[in-house]
Amino acid sequence: MTDPNVQRKLIEIMRIISKSDKPLGARLIADELQNRGYAIGERAVRYHLRILDERGFTKKHGYIGRTITDLGQKELNDALISDRLDLVITRIEELVYKTTYDLREKKGNVIVNVSVIDKRDYEKAMDVLKYAIDAGISISPRIRVVDEDSEEDDIFVPDGKFAIANVCSITYDGILLKNGIPSTPLYGGLMQMEAHKPVSFVDIIGYSGTSIDPIKIFINRRSTSVLDYIESGTGKLLANMRHVPGSAREKAREVMELAKESEIGGYLAIGETGEDVFSVPLEKGKAGIPVIVGSNAIAAIAEAGIPVKAYPVSTIMDYNIMKRLE
């Protein structure tokens, strides 16, 4: 049985090939996958293409590239609807399961966002990043910079670029699960802040039923005002909402407070069971937990006029190889 993560990439590769009127090579496919939010390199694309060839879904035309076969087109048509509907939430569920960080041992994997930036903007981007992190609008001050041509931790960085990996707020869901508390991410959205305090979600997009991460949508729309918030205490920050069973509410609070000892913070509140939290309705028997997301620091870079490709909820990384930005 194919790993769901591999299966999604196979479908996306077939989708790319099917839209071309000529054979496509691994490099062009890798570039397009990057544009669609997949941090995958040319070498990994070749691996996936071999699988498609073996299944008869693609045909190799020497060094020119691949085309999709009739069998591949049928497979794509059958998979397309269900794949698009569960793409984001399925990836989230996989990474939550793979989160191994132990709050007491202080070691293990966390989920990271990956953002790719031109090397010419390195100094300015890192200055803005540090400014934003120091202002406390990211869930952790730890990051990792990945250089071009590296496929470290499943992160592909094109020539002339560098990548920033920072802790993703969905890590909380993995940590809660590891501590016996089922946590379900519900929405990504914009939190209105006034006088440095959260007031209300002003826009939300559900994680279920979308093929594009909601946080990425808001970054691409330039919907945030992170820099304004840092300067004045008023603005729109990226945040997300999850719910836990009401019976686990107090234990969830203990776990999230303990996470602060590992420099993982950013949760805004734990709502009362069954009650709305910052204008977001909750199911009966559930308690909502809104969290300021790690991508706020990346949104600040974009607000500063620096082009950035953001890939939220991208992969997992050993938390102890991530360091504070000096």
Supply the pLDDT for residue 79: 65
Q: Do residue 220 and residue 166 come from a single domain?
A: yes
Rounded to an integer, what distance in angstroms lies between the CA atom of residue 239 and that of residue 236? 9
**Share of residues in the chain with pLDDT > 90 (%):** 70
Domain encompassing residue 51: 4-87
248 has a pLDDT exceeding 70: yes
Asked whether residue 313 is domain-assigned, the answer is yes
Asked whether residue 103 is domain-assigned, the answer is no
Q: Do residue 141 and residue 245 come from a single domain?
A: yes
pLDDT tens per residue, range 173-193: 999 999 999 999 999 999 999
* Higher-pLDDT residue of 44, 150: 44
Q: Rg (Cα) of the chain, in Å, rounded? A: 20
In the sheet that 286-292 helps form, which strands lie side by side, from edge to edge? 197-206, 184-194, 235-245, 286-292
Q: Do residue 150 and residue 268 come from a single domain?
A: yes
7 has a pLDDT exceeding 90: no
Q: How sure is the predictor about 87, in pLDDT bands with cuts at 50, 70 and 90?
A: low
pLDDT tens per residue, range 292-315: 999 999 999 999 999 999 999 989
Asked whether residue 177 is domain-assigned, the answer is yes
Number of structural domains found in the chain: 2
Q: Do residue 238 and residue 205 come from a single domain?
A: yes
Mean pLDDT to the nearest integer, 262-274: 94
Supply the pLDDT for residue 116: 93
Supply the pLDDT for residue 152: 64
Q: How sure is the predictor about 208, in pLDDT bands with cuts at 50, 70 and 90?
A: confident
- Arithmetic mean of pLDDT over the chain: 90
Q: Do residue 21 and residue 77 come from a single domain?
A: yes
Asked whether residue 96 is domain-assigned, the answer is no
Q: What is the DSSP letter of 108?
A: S
Asked whether residue 212 is domain-assigned, the answer is yes
Rounded to an integer, what distance in angstroms lies between the CA atom of residue 265 and that of residue 107? 16
Supply the pLDDT for residue 148: 82
Q: Do residue 147 and residue 282 come from a single domain?
A: yes
Mean pLDDT to the nearest integer, 244-254: 97
Asked whether residue 101 is domain-assigned, the answer is no
Asked whether residue 255 is domain-assigned, the answer is yes
Q: Do residue 54 and residue 139 come from a single domain?
A: no
CATH number where 76 lies: 1.10.10.10
- The whole-angstrom distance between residue 151's C-alpha and the CA centroid of its chain comes to 17
CA distances from 251 to 95, 116, 138, 172 (A): 22, 37, 23, 13
Supply the pLDDT for residue 153: 56
Low-confidence winner among 151-155, 199-203, 270-274, 289-293 (lowest mean pLDDT): 151-155
Asked whether residue 98 is domain-assigned, the answer is no
